[in-house]
């Protein structure tokens, strides 16, 4: 591996936006560590796709909310590839229910994965990412769109945005950018699962571009922030095709 090869960790890299981002970074020549929660076969397939795109990749299982597992994830990246330059926080869960009906254990699970998970990964990134690096957290346009049923998910993502803006300022002097991408409805398993086609069609018709986002749409933005976009820092980029609150 060339000394100039940049190294990325992508949590949630076995599916959806995370997987598409890993492959997109592979096309840019990155070495990618794909963090995954439990689906080893999907993670290994993602490794194959990254390598086919021109990058190098390994898959490492890690619970993003477990600081011991996340420390080991960063250790593995450093052992395999020599360091970490880019960290993408794409792991997340999205159970839906009206606020008054949501089981509080489910709420705790959402906060644990989406908010604590981002915090734990960002904590390691803040300590270990190399100067000149980039951290990209995944928020959601639901923090603005306020769609019923998404209170727990949107609350967790509002916290992700707060973490992002503060960490960007805490890393002053390191030449490390920290930004969040806030997708609107995107055609991933996380979004599509359990929704009737009529609802999917109605949501897809809402933005002026009259379609759902594709994982590749979001991956392009993340790759831009991970690479050439050095003057974008401490920002939340809403990527939703023009959907309005």
pLDDT band at 245 (very low <50, low <70, confident <90, very high): low
Kindly list the distances between the CA atom of residue 17 and the CA atoms of 6, 32, 99, 108, in Å, as whole numbers in the listed order: 20, 14, 26, 23
pLDDT, tens only, 177-190: 999 999 988 888 87
**Which CATH superfamily groups domain 7-182+215-236?**
NAD(P)-binding Rossmann-like Domain (3.40.50.720)
pLDDT, tens only, 147-203: 999 999 999 999 999 999 999 999 999 999 999 999 988 888 878 887 889 888 888
Could you tell me which residues are beta bridge partners of residue 180?
Answer: 137, 236
Report the share of the chain in percent with pLDDT over 90.
85
pLDDT band at 1 (very low <50, low <70, confident <90, very high): low
pLDDT, tens only, 23-46: 999 999 999 999 999 999 999 999
DSSP state of 211: S
pLDDT band at 14 (very low <50, low <70, confident <90, very high): very high
Q: In whole angstroms, what is the distance from residue 137 CA to residue 103 CA?
A: 26
How confident is the model at residue 218, as a pLDDT?
A: 96
How confident is the model at residue 192, as a pLDDT?
A: 81
Using the predicted structure, report yes or no on whether residue 2 has a pLDDT greater than 80.
no
Active site residues: 153
pLDDT, tens only, 202-223: 888 888 998 988 999 999 999 9
The three-point CA angle 55-127-215 to 5° equals: 40
Q: What is the mean pLDDT of residues 79-102?
A: 97
Report the share of the chain in percent with pLDDT over 70.
98
pTM: 0.95
Contact 31, 9 (CB under 8 A): no
pLDDT, tens only, 101-142: 999 999 999 999 999 999 999 999 999 999 999 999 999 999
How confident is the model at residue 227, as a pLDDT?
A: 93
């Amino acid at each position: 591996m060339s000394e100039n090869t940049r190294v990325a960790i992508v949590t949630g890299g076995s599916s959806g936006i995370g997987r598409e981002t890993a492959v997109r970074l592979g096309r840019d020549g990155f070495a990618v560590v794909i963090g995954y929660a439990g689906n080893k076969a999907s993670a290994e397939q993602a490794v194959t796709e990254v390598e086919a795109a021109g990058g190098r990749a390994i898959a490492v299982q890690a619970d993003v909310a477990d600081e011991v597992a996340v420390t080991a994830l960063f250790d593995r990246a450093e052992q395999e590839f020599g360091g970490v330059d880019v960290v993408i926080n794409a792991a997340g869960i999205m159970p839906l229910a009206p606020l008054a009906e949501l089981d509080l254990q489910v709420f705790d699970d959402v906060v644990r994965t989406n908010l604590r998970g981002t915090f734990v990964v960002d904590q390691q990134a803040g300590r270990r990412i190399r100067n000149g690096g980039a951290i990209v957290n995944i928020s959601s346009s639901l923090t603005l769109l306020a769609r019923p049923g998404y209170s727990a998910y949107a609350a967790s993502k509002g916290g992700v945005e707060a973490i992002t803006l503060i960490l960007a300022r805490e890393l002053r002097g390191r030449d490390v950018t920290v930004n969040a991408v806030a997708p609107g409805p995107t055609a991933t398993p996380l979004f599509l699962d359990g929704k009737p086609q009529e609802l999917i069609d109605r949501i897809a018709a809402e933005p002026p571009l009259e379609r759902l986002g594709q994982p590749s749409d979001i991956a392009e933005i993340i790759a831009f922030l991970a690479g050439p976009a050095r003057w974008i820092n401490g920002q939340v980029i809403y990527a939703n095709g023009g959907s309005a609150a």
